[in-house]
Structure 1
C-alpha cells in the first residue's frame, strides 16, 4: 500500500513543500519565499493541513541542531537570517502534526535524493555540494545521512588564495571562506554582474573553478567519497566542470587516486528537485523505522 508522505525543503531564499510517495514521486507541491517564521510557517501549515500525511522529511537551511540529546534539538541556531535565529522549527511542526519526522539539512536531503534516484545511484558514499546563495555540503555515508555531533558545514572551509586575488569575501562570519569567495553573491560582488549574466569565457570562472577544485581536494582527503556531486544555481554553468577537474588534478598531484574524474566530479542529475525528492525519501525511511 502506498503511503502519503510530506517533504519540506526549507531554503534560506524559498520553501518548497510537497506531498508524494515513498518512491520520491511528488503529487502536489507549493513554493513560497522564506520571510519570517510567522508568515512562512503559516503557509507550511496551510499546505499540510489539506493532507493526511504519515511522516514528513524536513531539510532545513542552517546551521541547525540535529543532536537529539541537546536542549535545542530541532532548532535553527546561529543563522544570518536573524528572524529565524534560535527558532524551534521541528517543535512547531510536532505541535501541529503528531507523526514521525526526519530532521536534517537542506543539503543532506538533496544528497539523499541524488544517492537514491540521481547521479549517485549505486554509490554508497556521496558528497553533495550546493553552490548558490551560499555553499553547503551534505554527505551520505554508507547509504545513510551522515550525522556527527552536528552536520557538515563544508561551505566555510578556509582556502589557499589564488595569486593576485585580494577580494575580501562576503561571509559575515569568516570573510574569505569558500562561501565568502565562491558563492553566488561573491561572484556578483567581484564582477558587478550575476553569474548567469557573465560570458562562459569570463576570467571569473577560472577563479571560481580554482576554489571549487581546492574544496574538492579537501573533501576528497577528509571524506573519501565515491563521488562529488555539484548542484545549485552557480553550477548551472556547465563550463565549470572540466575546469574544476583539470585544477583538481593539478592540486592533487597524484597524491590520492580517484575514479575517472568525468564520473567523480559531476553535476546534479535531479536538478532543482534533488532536495524535495530526498525529503520524501527520508520521510519514507523514518516511517519504516
Structure 2
C-alpha cells in the first residue's frame, strides 16, 4: 500500500485497555496492538514502550507519536507535571508520568491529550464532524467524558473539561446515590457502563433494550447534552463509547428527552443531525491518538 503521508504512531491509553496503532489515518492503518491497562502502571508503560520501539524498528521510521490518555491529566506544557495522569480513581495510576515517559521511548515529536479530545480531533479530521469547527465528542463507556472543539481546537483553561462529572437534574423517583467515588450522582456516576453495572449488580450487556434502566440513562445523558447545548453551543454532539455503540436504541431516547428538556428554547439543527453516533465508530479512540501525532508533527515543523 502506498502511504498517504509520513508514518505516525498513536497510543490510546484507556482505563481497561491500551491500543498502540501505526498508520496515517483511517484508510491506512498498518497495525494495532492491544494490551491490558493493569493496575501496575510501571508494568503497563513498560509494555507500551517496548511495543513502540519494536514497531519503529519493524515498520519505521515513525515520524511522530500521539498519546491520548484517560484522565484527568495535566495538559499545561509549562507545568512540571505535564503529561501526568493526576487524580484518577483507577488504582495505581494517580500522579503517573505518561506523556514525557512515552515521548522518550521514541524521541520524536510527541503530542499528549485526553482520550476524548483525541477522538474529537479524529472525528473532525476524518469522521462525522468534518467541516465543523464547533462540536462535541462524548464517550459513554467505563466512564463518561467529552472533548469540546471550538474554532477547530479543543477547549481548556486551567485544565481540560470533565463533562462526565457535571451534575444534572435527576429523574423523578430515581434516588440511587450513584457510583462516582468523587461526586456520587454525577453523569458518570449514573450513566457510565460501570455505574449501570453497580446499580444492577451485573453487566449492562445482558439487559433487554426495554429495560427501564435505559430510560434513566437516557434522561441523564440528555441532561448532559442540554448543558452542552446551552453553554458551548456545539453544532453537533457525537456520542460514542462502549455503552452507546452497544445500545443504539439510546439515541432516539436521548433525542426525545433533549427535545422535551430544551422546550423549544434553542434553534437547534434537526435532532437526528445534532445527536449522532461517531463516523469512525470504535476506531475514534485509536485514530484520535494518530490525530494527536499529526498535530504534534505539524507543530514541530511550523516556523517559530
Normalising by structure 1, we get a TM-score of 0.96
Give the 3 Å change call, closer, same or farther, for CA 105–188 of structure 1 in structure 2: same
Give the 5 Å matches for 1:1-289.
2-21=5-24, 25-35=28-38, 36-50=40-54, 51=56, 52-236=61-245, 237-289=247-299
Query: How far off is 1:23 after superposition?
Result: 6.4
Does the Cα contact within 8 Å between 2:52 and 2:106 map onto a contact in 1?
A: no
Task: Give the count of matched residue pairs.
Answer: 289
In structure 1, stretches of 5+ residues that fail to align are: none
Query: How far off is 1:24 after superposition?
Result: 6.6
Query: How far off is 1:2 after superposition?
Result: 2.8
Match of 1:84, SS state, is: coil
Query: How far off is 1:177 after superposition?
Result: 0.6
Normalising by structure 2, we get a TM-score of 0.91
CA deviation string 1:210-261 (max 9, x = no partner): 1111100001111110100001111121111111111101110111121000
d(CA) in 2 for partners of 1:139, 1:132: 17
d(CA) in 2 for partners of 1:235, 1:2: 32
In structure 2, stretches of 5+ residues that fail to align are: 300-304
Q: RMSD across aligned C-alpha pairs, in angstroms?
A: 1.4
Query: How far off is 1:25 after superposition?
Result: 2.6
Query: How far off is 1:175 after superposition?
Result: 0.6
* Runs of 4+ in structure 1 over 6 Å off: none
Query: How far off is 1:271 after superposition?
Result: 1.3
Match of 2:92, SS state, is: helix
d(CA) in 1 for partners of 2:118, 2:174: 34
Give the 3 Å change call, closer, same or farther, for CA 261–5 of structure 1 in structure 2: same
Q: Equivalent residue for 2:302?
A: none
Query: How far off is 1:285 after superposition?
Result: 2.0
